[in-house]
Chains A and B, each alone.
Chain A
Amino acid sequence: DVKVTQSSRYLVKRTGEKVFLECVQDMDHENMFWYRQDPGLGLRLIYFSYDVKMKEKGDIPEGYSVSREKKERFSLILESASTNQTSMYLCASSLRDRGYQETQYFGPGTRLLVL
């Protein structure tokens, strides 16, 4: 059973703070993703990674960065948190695509409130 865990369920931070969101998967998946989930907007891809030390920008990377030093861990970093980054953040992982999209497995989410 695939397990994707996120370091916090709820976080409250102040504007300008540096914020780290951690994601760990235990199924040796190559691909890892960070999304934000907002009502009416669905999920929007922030960054993704197909391998260790590799990262690609998603659709809304501004204000975010990521780190993937180990295969099982993918971190999302908000360099200077702003109120418009208040959201639910979802991490996901999947096997390497084999000519078709592999199923993505999601973590429970981190609800971030920036004051």
Chain B
Amino acid sequence: AQRVTQPEKLLSVFKGAPVELKCNYSYSGSPELFWYVQYSRQRLQLLLRHISRESIKGFTADLNKGETSFHLKKPFAQEEDSAMYYCALSGKAAGNKLTFGGGTRVLVKP
């Protein structure tokens, strides 16, 4: 069965410091990995996906198949990055359903 693990429930960093949100997965096959974000009082929305290989709002994430990880990174955190972040996985073996991790709350302090 596919699984997504986000080991940190809460990450607290100061503005301007680097931030890394960990995501590990288990899946037999070629996965598609995503990061979704939910800002306060807003709906959940896609932040980025690994196949796009792009940086969104300064965030990047690299799929490491050897370590089965898809960590989200930003070199200089901003206060507006404070939000709930979810890592998610999909793939043909799972009927293309999305499986979400438990989420990491990021708090960026001034």
Contact = CB atoms under 8 A, between A and B. Distances in A.
Interface string B83-110: 0001010100001111111110000000
Contacts of A97: 96
Contact of B46 (A33, A42, A104): A104
Contacts of B4: 42
Contacts of B97: 45, 48, 58
Nearest to A44: B100
Interface residues on A, range: 20 to 34
B43 interface: yes
Interface in A7-51: 33, 35, 39-45, 48
Contact of A43 (B43, B49, B100): B100
A100 B43 contact: no
B44 A42 contact: no
Most chain-A Cβ atoms within 10 A of its Cβ — which of B86, B100, B101? B100
Contact of B44 (A44, A59, A90, A100): A90
B43 A106 contact: yes
Interface residues of B, number: 23
Contact of B86 (A43, A56, A92, A108): A43
Given A106-B44, A106-B45, A42 B100 contact: yes
A90 B60 CA distance: 26
A40 B100 contact: no
Given A42-B86, A58-B97, A101-B32, A108 B43 contact: yes
A85 B49 CA distance: 31
B105 to A, nearest CB: 9
B103 A109 contact: no
A103 interface: yes
A113 B34 CA distance: 30
14 contacts: A33-B98, A42-B86, A42-B101, A43-B88, A45-B97, A48-B97, A59-B99, A100-B32, A100-B51, A101-B32, A101-B90, A103-B46, A104-B46, A105-B45
Interface of A: 4, 33, 35, 39-45, 48, 56, 58-59, 90, 92, 97, 100-101, 103-109
